[in-house]
Amino acid sequence: MKHLKLEELDRKILGMLNKDGRMSFTLIAKQLKISATTLYSKVRELEESGVLKGYIPLIDRKFVGYKLMAVINLRVKHEQHIEVHKVIARFPEVQAVYEVAGEWDLILVCYFKGRDELSNFLKNGLPLSNIERTLTHLVLNVVKEEKRVHV
């Protein structure tokens, strides 16, 4: 993956795709007053450099059964981080893992269909022999959750 210095045109393309990922390349090229060939070339460059990681729909999790959101703090036993990372990464319920500084080592953002699924994850999913302590927060209301990156 090569490093890419973003130009103004790159930012405009990213902004338009960010606003509407289903917008046709023909329309984007027309609005930016560039050729479709230039646009395809720029988008391919953004993809290959890792700036543009993909195109996915934003699905409301509640409508597909994920009614419970949990934020889980973990304190990992000394030198067990790699093992814990490997185990946690396997679970589709775990949407994000953040390695942090401070009292905790990892913060997980997880979605579950219900309390039983959460309980099972905490008891059987986590590599408890490698974890010193956990703290689980149940999210009552999401005030803001933005997936788009301001370009």
pLDDT tens-digit map of 63-121: 999 999 999 999 999 888 899 999 998 999 999 999 999 999 999 999 999 999 999 99
For domain 61-138, give the fold.
Alpha-Beta Plaits (3.30.70)
> So what's the pLDDT on residue 149?
83
Q: Domain spans of the chain?
A: 8-48, 61-138
**Predicted TM-score (pTM) above 0.85:** no
Would you mind telling me the total number of residues written for the chain in this entry?
A: 151
> So what's the pLDDT on residue 2?
61
Per-residue tokens: 14:
């990213």
Buried/exposed code over 120-131 (b: 16+ C-beta within 10 A; e: otherwise): ebeeebbbeebb
> So what's the pLDDT on residue 96?
95
Q: How does the average pLDDT of the chain come out, rounded? A: 92
Amino acid of residue 123? K
Class of domain 8-48: mainly alpha
State what percent of residues in the chain have pLDDT above 90. 74
The Cα angle at residue 11 between residues 29 and 15, in degrees rounded to 5 = 70
Per-residue tokens: 131:
């974890």
Amino acid of residue 91? F
